[in-house]
Chain A
Amino acid sequence: SQQGEEDPQALSIQEGENATMNCSYKTSINNLQWYRQNSGRGLVHLILIRSNEREKHSGRLRVTLDTSKKSSSLLITASRAADTASYFCATDARDDKIIFGKGTRLHILP
């Protein structure tokens, strides 16, 4: 079974708006990671947040982590057409496995 579950499954927003995606997971983790996948290509690592961190920023990305609720969110500010992609969360648990969720498909409308 998959550890992470993203919400929503799909999201369409206007260019310039902010996009928020959520991830819930089931077990204790070392860290949680977010990845982007452009259609048909390999995944690209975006940002990693450790279990003892609550918030992290990288450029237009902001990630939060709530270990008590076993949830994380990814915020992309001032979205651009190039942000159109699928976004996945992945949990790095204490058994060296890195397990992915099913992803959120983000579509930025011009």
Chain B
Amino acid sequence: NAGVTQTPKFRVLKTGQSMTLLCAQDMNHEYMYWYRQDPGMGLRLIHYSVGEGTTAKGEVPDGYNVSRLKKQNFLLGLESAAPSQTSVYFCASRPTTKATGQYFGPGTRLTVT
């Protein structure tokens, strides 16, 4: 049982390049979330999904797109990376029940130069 995994762990991009971050969970969870963490800012919600085929905007969605084609995977895309998107990105999942906390992945450290 791997829990929540994120690929890649590290990445350096040049401004304007695109990339996709992959989050995978093997716990059959309905809900999945993407956050970014910047120094002193805590975690900010980018996008989330309440089930396969659904996505919704969080607090800071601009510049990102997401897709949830399979229940176990939640993809975060950057179409044209900007230095302001340098951050650590965390994915999380949880089951449908509202009485459970989230399970987090180990994070992806992204640097945009």
Contact = CB atoms under 8 A, between A and B. Distances in A.
Task: Give the residue among A1, A44, A45, A88 with the most B Cβ atoms within 10 A.
Answer: A45
B101 A48 contact: yes
A50 interface: yes
Contacts of A44: 104
Contacts of B113: none
Contacts, number: 66
A96 B31 contact: yes
A26 B33 CA distance: 21
A97 B48 contact: yes
A47 B50 CA distance: 22
B33 A98 contact: yes
Nearest to B30: A96
Interface of A: 1-2, 30-31, 33, 35, 40-48, 50, 88, 90, 92, 96-103
